[in-house]
Amino acid sequence: MDCIFCKIVEGTLPSTKVYESDTVIAFQDIKPEASVHILIIPKKHIATMNDVTADDDQVMAELFTAARQIAIEQGIAESGYRLINNVNSDGGQLVYHLHFHLLGGEKLGPLNA
């Protein structure tokens, strides 16, 4: 499958990983938009939030668990951060493998700037 995030999961495309479990990995965004910008993804290929089913309840919970843990590890849990999921064209989704952007480490601008 021609999915860059599946290639990152497989290890055929390099990434700077900051977290890995059986079902989830997180890595540095290649083009960071804040001093902390990490992508948190399921290892399973799910194209968009619209494609999540009840079968994915556990993996969805693990994505949020990872986000909380990474925020602590990055030292931004108390100062604050943003967790963003872009869906389809109007949402600005460019990579069609479900991912959450964890952004922080600075005062973030307006959400829809």
| Footprint on this chain of ligand 5GP (rule: CB under 6 A) | 4, 13, 15, 27-31, 39, 86, 92-95
Partner that binds at residue 61, options ligand 5GP, Zn ion, none, CB closer than 5 to 8 Å by kind: none
Comparing CB distances to Zn ion, the nearer of 37 and 45 is 45
Spatial CB neighbours of 9, under 8 Å, sequence gap ≥ 6: 25, 41, 43
Active site residue 101: no
Query: Taking Cα atoms as reference points, which of 51, 62, 50, 53 lies closest to residue 23?
Result: 62
Footprint on this chain of Zn ion (rule: CB under 5 A) = 3, 5-6, 45, 97
